[in-house]
Amino acid sequence: MADPDDDLMDLDFTRPGAIPVAVEAKPSRSTVPPRIEEVARLFAEGDAARACALLESNLHQEEFGAATELAWGMLFELYAILGKRQVFESLAIGFANKFEKSPPTWAPTEDDASAIGKDGLATVTLSGELGANAVQPLSKLHGMAGKVPGVRLDLAKVADVDDIGCGALLETLRVFKRLKKSCVLVGGEQIAAMLAPKTMMGERTHESTWLLLLELYQNLDRQEAFEDTAVGYAVTFEVSPPSWEAPKATLPAAPLAAPAPRPKAAAADCCGLSGELSGGNRESFAALLSYADNNKQVNVNAGSLQRMDIDCAETFSLLLEELKASKKLVRIHNANYLLVGLWRSLGIDKIATIESRKL
């Protein structure tokens, strides 16, 4: 009779693989859903078209949770990069319905200055509802004012303008006037008709709306409407109204050659990143490291940074880890949504404070 213990001697616990060894999975650093990470990485590697198609096909099919607005912001930016204005504006309508706030508008860029007509005027089109979301796009026109003889501002697709939007549009018209540059309004009558009912005599609200209406009447050479509105403005706000100035005739102007673009200067209390950064070379961040040496609070302005590839983002992450270990507090602000998606996929939001630009 065989000894039962003999069977135990056949078990070789020393053979490789005899006992499965559990390999502990490396914890993910990502704080975004996998689809957002995939889109961000596609764009980081320079494939904006595939990134756009992927996010476009999944935006309404997947639940993105706390990253929902990030996903929308990334798609808006991809549409803008690819020049897809029509679908951008369709998405803006969906955004307004979903989030119940003003959607982003198609932002004119400095490249729009190349769309110059034979009269030398650059054409810029605004659409949708203009509110706080219009401040940044309109402010870009101020820089354009010094580069072109004038602008043709198409307002025909504007659905509404609140007091903040009125203030931004008013300042833009004043900038061109101060520089003695032409500003031809398309749809100005439509906007004036939209604003007129909002200016109620005796109600001391919406002062920017009153002032924009006066500016529009002057631009449109409607002196009688201007003077009637000026009286209402003076009575309501108990101040002297603007004086009527007949609009000057605009002479045809030949297109001017645009000067070479100057790099945007970063604010004195922060370090700026700009352009497209690639590769794992730490030299890309030499200015940031120098700035961090002399500051405990490290403010990074990413407003001019368009793209960062994955190798560069990994190097950036390691650099920020070093700054954190040195007790530095890092705040990255004004970053585009595609960068935010990439950085959050690498866990950079656990190392530094990341603030995206406003939609």
Return the SS3 of 172.
helix
Q: Binning pLDDT at 50, 70 and 90, where does residue 254 land? A: very low
DSSP secondary structure code for residue 48 in this structure: H
Return the SS3 of 302.
strand
Domain ranges for the chain, please list them. Answer: 34-99, 110-237, 271-356
Q: Report the mean per-residue pLDDT for the chain.
A: 82
CATH of domain 271-356: 3.30.750.24
Distances (CA, A) of 269 to 188, 286, 293, 300: 40, 17, 13, 9
Q: Residue 124's pLDDT is what?
A: 80
Q: What is the pLDDT of residues 62-114, one digit of tens each?
A: 889 999 999 999 999 999 888 888 899 899 999 999 998 888 887 654 444 44
CATH of domain 110-237: 3.30.750.24
How many angstroms separate the CA atoms of 31 and 308, rounded? 18
pLDDT at 59 over 50: yes
N-terminal to C-terminal alpha carbon distance within the chain? 84
How many angstroms separate the CA atoms of 271 and 319, rounded? 15
Which tokens go with 268?
């004195």
**Amino acid at the residue 345:** S
Which tokens go with 11?
């078990």
How many angstroms separate the CA atoms of 312 and 78, rounded? 20
| Across 190-219, average pLDDT | 91
How many angstroms separate the CA atoms of 333 and 314, rounded? 19
Portion of the chain with pLDDT greater than 90, in percent: 43
Q: What is the pLDDT of residues 255-299, one digit of tens each?
A: 333 333 433 433 446 788 888 888 888 888 988 999 899 899 999
Q: Residue 208's pLDDT is what?
A: 92
**Amino acid at the residue 323:** L
Which tokens go with 14?
């020393």
| Across 128-143, average pLDDT | 76
Domains 110-237 and 271-356 belong to one CATH topology: yes
Angle (CA) 128 73 324, round 5°: 140
Q: What is the pLDDT of residues 61-71, one digit of tens each?
A: 888 999 999 99
Assessment of whether the complete model's pTM goes beyond 0.85: no
How many Cβ atoms sit within 10 Å of the Cβ of residue 61? 7
Beta bridge partners of 298: 330
Q: What is the pLDDT of residues 216-236, one digit of tens each?
A: 999 888 999 999 999 999 999
